[in-house]
Amino acid sequence: MAQAFAQSLGIPSESAGTVPSSRVNPVVVEIMKERGVDISKNAPKMLTLEMINNASLVVTMGCSVAEVCPKPLLAQMQKKLIDWNLPDPKGKSIESVREIRDEIERRVKELAK
């Protein structure tokens, strides 16, 4: 969701996880369509050290970048790390996923300022 919102604002971004699922959550696909964003063809990706090296900002949501890049190394690279402590939409009701989506959208817009 964050990647889609960032890209809609012209912010280059990638989305990846330390333990990515095999497909994008269908409820997330559905509620993003409500915002006019089609992510149905997106595929979850594994977070890599290369992605972190290429990023000027790393935003985590329930995953540990340290699994891919130990924090001392991340600090040496002078990357800005933000952790958005948000619930995983997996298994949540559509109403709960909408709340998560809205919060992610708000935070992405805040980053874009």
In this predicted structure, the answer to whether residue 110 has a pLDDT above a threshold of 70 is yes
Please name the residues in contact with 76: beta carbons below 8 A apart, sequence gap of 6 or more. none
pTM of the model: 0.87
In this predicted structure, the answer to whether residue 98 has a pLDDT above a threshold of 90 is yes
Please write the tens of the pLDDT for every residue from 66-85. 666 666 666 666 668 888 98
Residue 40: how many other CB atoms lie within 10 Å: 13
Of the listed ranges 19-33, 40-54, 85-99, the one predicted with least confidence: 40-54
Please write the tens of the pLDDT for every residue from 35-76. 999 999 999 998 888 888 888 888 988 766 666 666 666 666
**Domain boundaries defined on the chain:** 2-112
Fold of 2-112: Rossmann fold (3.40.50)
**Quick one: pLDDT at residue 71?**
64
Higher pLDDT, 94 or 65: 94
Answer for the pair 82, 59: CB distance below 8 angstroms, yes or no: yes
**3-class DSSP string for the chain:** CHHHHHHHCCCCCCCCECCCCCCCCHHHHHHHHCCCCCCCCCCCCECCHHHHHHCCEEEECCCCHHHCCCHHHHHHCCCEEEECCCCCCCCCCHHHHHHHHHHHHHHHHHHHC
Question: Region 17-24: what's the mean pLDDT?
Answer: 88
